[in-house]
Structure 1
Amino acid sequence: MNHSLTAWKEAAAEAALTAFLNREIKSLGVVRELAIRTREKTLRIAVDLKGEAARLWIEAAAYELSERDGEVYLVVRGITASREWIAAALNQYVAGRAFRLPPAARFLR
């Protein structure tokens, strides 16, 4: 796939996933940056949490997409974070679980 098409797909997926995550975590904070690398299947997210002075960085070493009944699902693995306890919580409660995404997430493929 050519570079400009890949960049366009990643930008569209980043916008869709950022909007989705911001709806999901609005009581906790806001996603400020999100980078998707479709070739490497990795994610990097910057979050400003309410009550925290420093930005939180989260990375997923791998992600997988699947489709079931016309719905798109995301599974992330190998999560690291700039705060050790958050990385531990995300690996325990988020990593390996399938999360239904909005239709625009098809661009993550």
Structure 2
Amino acid sequence: MSEESQPTRAIVAGPDADGLGEALENEGVDVTRLDGVISRPQLEEAGIVDADLYVLTDVGQATTIPIVCDLTDEIRTVVYTEDSIPEFVKAQLDIAVDPKLLTPAIVAEELLG
């Protein structure tokens, strides 16, 4: 089987009150959810090394972005929240989106398009 036939995998970290995880699932993405204080072992156990997307919805867990980038170069990092993103993380992000500007369905389509 070619790599293209594999479903896209995403780790959604945080409460996801806006429903981006569900929108990704509606697009056929295999979503794993993490909540609470997230550690490197939790990320590894969730399959971060094989994931295509890391979606963070809680900037209180922004320190996970450098961890994710350290574990794999083959991942797109996304923050989906109204909250301000800490400066130390911005350089490692692929995209940051405010839920007030784009709906979860539009963001999911764009991430997969």
Q: TM-score, normalised by structure 2?
A: 0.31
Task: Determine which structure has more spread, i.e. the larger CA radius of gyration.
Answer: 1
More strand, by proportion? 1
More helix, by proportion? 2
